[in-house]
Structure 1
Amino acid sequence: MTMFNTVTGGFLSALMLAGAAMADPSLWHIEDEDSDVYIFGTVHILRPGLEWQSDEVMRAFESADTVYFEAPVNDPAEAAGMQQILMANALNPAGTTLSSLVSDEAWSQIEAFAPRVGVTAAQLEPLRPWLATIQLGVGFIMISGYDPQSGVEATLWPQANEAGKTLAYFETVEEQIGFFANLPQDIEVALLEETVADFETAPDQLDTLVAAWADGDQATIDNVMNAEMRADAPEVHDVIIVQRNHRWAGQIEDILDGSGTVFIAVGSGHLPGEEGVISLLRDRGIVVSGP
């Protein structure tokens, strides 16, 4: 499950929960003499029907002058640039095919699975392993009944934009793509091989993850999102989770030096645990109310 969580927990992450239900995800609050900062953990793709917009969360969101997201991936104005950056990092060097990089077993799994998400293995051959991982991983979740337009950011970004709130971001689209595109090739390949090996068991574990998010169960989120990745893919965990958490904690401290009400929406896997954003803020002496 580790590598599947890596894909779904970083750029273009995807999490799910079956059926219609009312969620009560966690919300954190920091305040000083002239600032109110709310921190909310998100999931980027959800099955339609989950009512996660609790009164507490939406009051905080609506009160904010500025809303921070990880990156402007939901901004239509960024779509063309995002596509250009993807294509610049998408292809293997001339003469290198995807099947030549992965094991025979993994390639057989890709050949069998790719048609289920509307592509052929031949169409994946030119792609670098990191992009094939994302295409197959996100495709798998979508054919399982999940809708990118039901994700938290896809819901909040248009609302913030239409309300005239200031939109701010911790990272650029290019930086987010680079987290994967700049991985060493052996890590890219391991990411793909372990992701395709996890497809049969992924739905149950993802259900567990989002059920924990809906219940505000930070220990389970940390265990499912981070513990396995720390143990089995420490290089990926460091790039995708730890380094970014430290940068964001510093950026949030800078936000507190300003004034006004700010709502921060970032992936839920970044918040719990010893090296999660919340603990890092508390380590800096910042009082954070919440779990």
Structure 2
Amino acid sequence: MRQLFRLFQILLLTIGLVASHTAPGQSGKGLVWKITGKGLKEPSYLFGTYHLLTNSYLNEISQVKQSLAKTKGVVVEAVIDSSKLQSMAMMAIMPDKKISGMISPEEAKLVSAELEALMGVNLAAVDQLKPSSVIVLMTVLYAQKLNAMILKKYPGQPMDVHLATVAKRDLKTVTPLETIEQQMDLLYNHFPLEEQARQLVIFVKQKEISEQSQAKLLEIYLEHDLEKLYRYADSLPKDMGNSDFLLKDRNEAWMKTLPGLMAKESQFIAVGALHLAGPDGLISLLQKQGYTVTPVN
């Protein structure tokens, strides 16, 4: 169980890595966007993060530091409360079911072999984890494995954690759009357990796509090209269920909160880059509400 809690820690800021199926839009290049108009007294800024990159990479995006300095508040997807880590980890556990009981013996062997190769543990070690949590964990490990050289180049805190830390240090307000519990509920309870098990088998059978996609997504992110990022994401297989609940639905929910926050004071809004582009992305949704959204060059 202690090992599971340790592994769980790397899941907390990675929800964006598994939300990779959405339509592309005309958002163009740039990770930092300026929001003006519609009566805003001061501009706010929107920044697309990559959850496995750290604060040291921010040194290569001068627009982040410049824009952050101009704002009075920071908005992030969620703020981690380390004291709740164990209780949150329990949300990923099935007390009365096992993955091996929801898939065939042949599928169990396939999944177990991939877990052995990737993590050094067999299916029995994670058998009572909800299948979706295993998918998330494997996605993160694929991303770390395929991008090891790049990620090693940028040590430090995850972007989201660093930005919240800097905001608190500078006495800025820090506003989470969601709680970690809400994020865990989305990941682990949206689909029925049997459907999650089916998705896990598909995920393992398509492991080459999973591996390649994580490498490609980071490669494109480093180009700061949101349109290209979404065009690629939209080309990936979509046989693991609709992902609107991870992107579209959350964006719409956030849009009920962001206008009020920006009207109150200037905000630096940092969310996963996959949330920015496309017809249902935050850039488009803000523009539809009458804001002017332009890249910061």
Q: Assess if the C-alpha contact under 8 Å between 2:251 and 2:280 holds in 1.
A: yes
Contact 1:9 1:267 (8 Å CA) reproduced: no
Q: Give the residue type in structure 2 aligned to 1:245.
A: N
- C-alpha separation in 2, matches of 1:36 and 1:232: 40
> What amino acid maps onto 1:261 in structure 2?
S
Aligned partner letter, 2:110? Q
Query: CA, structure 1 residues 52+66, in 2 after alignment: closer, same or farther (shift >3 Å)?
Result: same
The 2-side partners of 1:79 and 1:271 are apart by: 28
Superposition deviation, residue 272 in structure 1: 0.5
In the alignment, the residues of structure 2 paired with residue 241 and residue 69 of structure 1 have an alpha-carbon distance, to the nearest angstrom, of: 15
- The match for 1:3 is none
Match of 2:255 in 1: 249
Distance change >3 Å, CA 191–CA 37, structure 1 → 2: farther
Where does residue 281 of structure 1 map in the other structure? 286
Is residue 27 from structure 1 mapped to residue 32 from structure 2 by the alignment? yes
User: 1:169 is matched with which residue?
Assistant: 176
AA aligned opposite 1:46: L
Find the residue that maps to 2:44 and give its secondary structure.
strand
Aligned-pair Cα RMSD in Å: 3.0
Q: How many residues align structurally?
A: 268
Cα distance, 1:42 vs structure 2? 0.4
1:200 Cα deviation after fit: 2.8
CA shift in 2, pair 1:190/1:28, >3 Å? farther
Distance in 2 between the 1:159 and 1:9 partners?
Answer: 17
Aligned to 2:3: none
Tell me whether 129-138 or 33-42 shows the greater mean CA deviation: 129-138
Give the match's secondary structure for 2:291. coil
Task: Please say if 1:13 is aligned against 2:14.
Answer: no
For 1:196-211, what aligned pairs fall within 5 Å after superposition?
Answer: 196-211=204-219
SS state of the match for residue 202, structure 1?
Answer: helix
Inter-partner Cα distance in structure 1 for 2:293 and 2:41:
15
Deviation at 1:143, TM superposition (A): 4.2
Distance 1:201 1:47 in 2: 25
Any stretches of 5+ residues in structure 1 without a counterpart? Answer: 1-6, 16-23
Q: Give SS of 2:266's match.
A: strand
Rounded Cα–Cα distance in structure 1 between residues aligned with 2:12 and 2:73: 26
Runs of 4+ in 1 over 6 A off after TM superposition: none
1:129–1:192: 8 Å Cα contact kept in structure 2?
yes
Contact 1:92 1:126 in 2 (8 A): yes
Query: Does the aligned pair in 2 maintain the 1:64–1:262 contact within 8 Å?
Result: yes
The normalised TM-score by structure 2 is 0.78
Letter in 1 for 2:244: D
Q: In the aligned structure 2, how far is the partner of 1:48 from the partner of 1:201?
A: 28
Mapping 1:197-276, distance limit 5 Å: 197-226=205-234, 228=236, 231-235=238-242, 237-258=243-264, 260-276=265-281
Equivalent in the alignment of 2:65: 58
d(CA) in 1 for partners of 2:241 and 2:109? 27
2:259 maps to amino acid: E
Name which of 164, 188, 213 aligns with 1:181. Answer: 188
Task: State whether structure 2 residue 115 is matched by structure 1 residue 114.
Answer: yes
Q: TM-score scaled by structure 1?
A: 0.80
**Cα offset, 1:141, TM superposition:** 3.1
Does 2:83 align with 1:80? Answer: yes
